[in-house]
Copies of this chain bind each other. A is one copy, B any other.
Amino acid sequence: MSLSARNRLQGTVTNVETEGLMAEVTVELGDGQEVTAIITSGSVDRLGLAEGDEVSAVVKATEVMVETE
């Protein structure tokens, strides 16, 4: 199974907060940077997401912006 989304960042779930229909999942990458995902509580249940899980944060390339300093 393979998905067209270009970005798949591997990391570890460090927090899962569920409230109503929505959930906030924090994933820590290998270099210590964090990615926050807002997904449905239904998906958290279906995937059984919990702290410590090895996951990927997946993002379609058209959703990524670039910021210069």
Which A residues contact B (CB, under 8 angstroms)? Answer: 1-10, 13, 17, 19-25, 27, 29-40, 42-44, 46-49, 53-69
Give complex CA distance A3, B56 in Å. 9
The dominant DSSP class at the A interface is strand
Partner of A47, one of B10, B29, B30, B68: B68
**Known: A6-B42, A19-B21, A24-B21. Is A65-B47 also a contact (CB below 8 A)?**
no
Give the oligomeric copy count.
6
Give complex CA distance A43, B9 in Å. 16
Return chain B residues, CB-CB under 8 Å to A48. 68
**Known: A10-B33, A61-B40. Is A3-B3 also a contact (CB below 8 A)?**
yes
